[in-house]
């Protein structure tokens, strides 16, 4: 008898260990438009779309199972519906230094164009704009003639 197969379908949340929750909330809400919400007796999460980032401040044990929580060790990619020129303009207006890009990349949903910068803890942050999906060739309604020639 075989055991059932586990199949993950999406990401619900991730956890960032940060040096200062207030500074992190300020950055992610003002630069990336996330919403800060309190939960579980004063903990803080950053919400966006259908996901969230829970914040743990270094030196404050929230989960004893975490072994190596370190600020600045994450590499995160966020998708936006903004245009890349608008992304760059918005980051510059907020004093965020772009360290790489715009450059082509391949993400989970396809090809995209990305820029990279650091958050206050020096986590590497990528903001990407998905490339438009290629248009599928139109198939004629009567394809019998085409199929005969194959």
Q: Catalytic residue numbers? A: 126
Structure tokens at 146: 């085409």
Which letter does DSSP use for residue 32 in this model?
H
Structure tokens at 32: 């990336």
> Which residue carries 């994450």 as its tokens?
74
Strand partners of residue 44: 38, 55
Q: What is the 3-state secondary structure (H, E, C) of 23-57?
A: HHHHHHHHHHCCEEEEECCCEEEEEECCEEEEEEE
The CA distance from 54 to 10, in Å, is: 16
The CA distance from 42 to 31, in Å, is: 23
């Amino acid at each position: 008898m075989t055991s059932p197969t586990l199949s993950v379908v999406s990401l619900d949340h991730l956890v960032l260990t940060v040096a200062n929750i207030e500074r992190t909330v300020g950055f992610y809400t003002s630069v990336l438009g996330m919403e800060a919400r309190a939960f579980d007796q004063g903990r803080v999460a950053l919400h966006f779309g259908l996901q969230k980032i829970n914040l743990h401040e270094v030196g404050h044990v929230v989960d004893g199972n975490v072994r190596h929580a370190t600020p600045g060790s994450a590499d995160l990619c966020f998708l936006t519906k903004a245009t890349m020129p608008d992304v760059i303009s918005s980051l510059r207006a907020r004093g965020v230094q772009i360290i790489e890009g715009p450059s082509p990349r391949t993400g989970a949903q396809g090809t995209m164009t990305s820029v990279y910068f650091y958050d206050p803890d020096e986590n590497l942050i990528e903001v990407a704009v998905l490339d438009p999906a290629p248009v599928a060739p139109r198939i004629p309604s009567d394809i019998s003639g085409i199929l005969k020639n194959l």
